[in-house]
Amino acid sequence: MKGMLEYSQGDTVIHRLNPLTKMLLAFLLCLSSFVSSHILMAVGIIIINIIVAGMAGIANKAFSLLKTLLKIGLILFLLQIFFIRTGNVILDLPLNLYITDTGLNFSVLLVLRLVGATMPLVLMLTVTKMSDLTNVFVQKLHIPYKYTFAFITALRFIPIFENEMNGIIEAQTARGVEFDTKNPLKKLKLVLPLCVPLLISSVKRIEGSAISAELRGFNVRQKNSGYKKYNFSGRDYIAMTASIVTLIVSSFVA
C-alpha cells in the first residue's frame, strides 16, 4: 500500500482527537478483534474501522489497506485450512488433503482478526502527527524522551524507506527492468538486489538525522520542553467510551 503511515492533512473530528485517545482507540479495536470468536463480530470490527476512516477522510487509504491485508490473509488462509484436521470433513481433495468445518471457521476468523487488528493502528497513525505523538507520550505517559524518539523515528522512517524504494524501482524501470511482471517469484528476484542501495541510502539518512537531532538539543530535551499542551475534551471521552463499549460487546459475543 502506497503512502502507508504518511500523515494525511485534515481538520476532521478524528484529526482533532487527542493523540493518546487515538492510540487508545486503536489498541481497544485491536483487542476487540481477538476477544471475540464470532466471525460476524470480526467483520463488524472491520466495518467500524472503515467508518472511522471515512470520518477522517481517508476512506481510500482504508480500502487500499484492506485490499493489501486480504492478499496477505489469503496466504495465511490457505496455509491454515489444510493443516487443521479436526472437525467434520466438508471437502475431500486429492493427496490426502481435506477441508473441515473447524478448519474453515478458524482460517476465516484468523484472516478477519489480522485485518481487524492491523487496520486501526495504521489508520490512527495516518491521522496523527509524529511530533504530537512524541510529545504526548512524554507529557502524559512520562516515557523518557530518548525511548519515545527512537520508537517514533522507526515509524517515521517506514514511509521514507518506501519512497526511497519506489524511487529506486522507477530508476530501474527507466533503464528497462520489467518490474510490472505478475510473477511474484520473478518480481522478488528483481527487488532483492535493490535492498543494497536502499540500505546504503538509509544509513546516510540516519547519520544525518542523528546530527540534526543533536544540533536541536536532543540531549537536553525534558518533559516540559514542548510548548503544545494536549488536554482531553468531550469528543475524546466519547471516543474512549465508544471503544470501551465495543470491547465489552466483543467479549460477550462468543
* 46/63 Cα distance (integer angstroms): 11
- 85-88 CB contacts, 8 Å cutoff, 24+ apart: none
Percent of the chain past pLDDT 90, that is, above it, reads: 17
For 67-140, list the strands marked E by DSSP.
89-93, 97-100
Query: Per-domain residue ranges for the chain?
Result: 1-128+229-254, 143-222
Output the pTM of the full model: 0.76
* 112/72 Cα distance (integer angstroms): 11
**Phi, psi at residue 109, to the nearest 5°?**
-65, -35
What are 159-185's pLDDT values in tens digits?
777 777 777 777 777 777 776 667 767
Q: List the beta bridge partners of residue 235.
A: none
Mean pLDDT, residues 229-236: 87
* 243/35 Cα distance (integer angstroms): 14
Instruction: Give pLDDT, residue 3.
Output: 57
